[in-house]
Amino acid sequence: MELRQLQYFVAVVDEAGFTRAAARLHLAQPGVSAQVRQLERELGHRLLDRSHRTVTLTEVGRAVLPYARAALAAAEGARRTAQEFTGLLRGQVTLGCVSGAATEEFDVVSVIADFHDAHPRVEIALTEDTSDRMLVALLRGELDIALLGLAADEAPAGVRLALVVDEPLVAAVAPGDPLLRPGGRTHVPLAELADRPLITLARGTGVRGALDRACADAGFTPRVAFEAATPGLLTRLAVRGLGVAVLPAPPEGMAASLGLRTLEITDPAPRGRIALAWRTDGPPGPAARALLGRLRAAFTVSASGGAV
C-alpha cells in the first residue's frame, strides 16, 4: 500500500468521480483509476461503487476512509515538521498579552523582534486582552501562548504555567492620606481598605481577581471607584487623591518619584502574578514551541502544571 494510492482514493471520494479527481491531481484519469484498483486488490475489498454516474463508497470504503485521511495527514505533518526543524521554521504563532504587561522592564517586544529576525517565515499575531478572555481563547485553540495575570494559586485545568512575575499587591496613596499613620508603617491590613474608594485594574485581570478574592476572604466587597487598563493610570489617579490604588509593588524609588507612598497589603496578602500559559498538550507547532522557549528563557522564574 502506497500513500499515493490513499491520496487518489481520497480525491475520488471528495470529487465523487475519477475524472474530477484526476483534474484535481493533475493526472490522467486512467492512472488514477489503476492506482485505486490496485489499492482495492491489496485490501481484498472494493472501496468504491462505480455502478452509477456518481462514484460512491461501499461499506468497506466508508470504514477505510477515516484511516486513509489520517495517514495522509500524518505524512504531511511529518514532512512539515522535518522542514521546520532543518532551518526552515515557518508557520503562524498567536500570542496574547495582558494589557500593560509589555513594558521596558518586561520587554516582550524585543523577544518577538529577535525571534522574527531568526525566523522571518514565521508570522506572529499579537493581541492584548484581559486575562479571563485570553484563558478562554487559549483553551479553545485561538491562542498558542498567553501572557496573563493569575487570580488564583492553582493553574486552571488544561493549562500549564511558567511564572514570570510574583509580587505583593500594595496600597498606593498620596502623601497625607489617613492610611499613613505617624510612625512610618510599611503594611496595612486589607480590612482597613473596606470603606475606602479603590482604584484598580478592570475585571478579568489577574490583579483584580486576586484583590476580589482576598476581599472575599476578609469578609467584604471592595468599593471600586475607578478602573483602569494600566498601572500607570492607576497611579495618576491616586496622586490626585481620588482613592487608594491597589497594584503590584512598583520598582524601588518609582512610587516616591511619582509622589506616592506605598503600603504592602496584609491579612490576607494578595499577590500580583503574571505567567506564560499554554495548553497542557503543548503549543501545536514547532514555531509556537520555539517562541515559547525564548519567552521562558527571557522571563520565567518558575514553571508548573498545577500550583504556581
Which tens digit of pLDDT belongs to each residue from 34-89? 999 999 999 999 999 988 888 889 999 899 999 999 999 999 888 877 766 665 57
Which of 164-168, 182-186, 253-257 is predicted most confidently?
Answer: 164-168
> In total, how many domains does the chain have?
3
Same domain, 268 and 299: no
Q: Supply φ then ψ for residue 263, to 5 degrees.
A: -130, 125
CATH number at residue 140: 3.40.190.10
120 within 8 A of 259, measured Cβ to Cβ: no
Same domain, 191 and 236: yes
Q: Is residue 306's pLDDT more than 50?
A: no
Q: Is residue 286's pLDDT more than 80?
A: yes
End residue of a domain, out of 41, 60, 84: 84
pLDDT one-digit tens code per residue, 128-140: 888 888 999 999 8
* Percentage of the chain modeled with pLDDT above 90: 43
User: Mean pLDDT for the chain?
Assistant: 86
End residue of a domain, out of 42, 62, 84: 84
Would you state the pLDDT for residue 101? 59
Would you state the pLDDT for residue 85? 66
Residue range(s) defining the domain that contains residue 106: 92-161+281-304
Q: In terms of DSSP bridges, do strands 224-228 and 198-201 run parallel, antiparallel, or are they unpaired?
A: parallel
Same domain, 181 and 245: yes
End residue of a domain, out of 84, 100, 117: 84
Tell me the average pLDDT across 214-237.
89
Tell me the average pLDDT across 157-183.
88
CA angle, 60 then 66 then 67, to 5°: 85
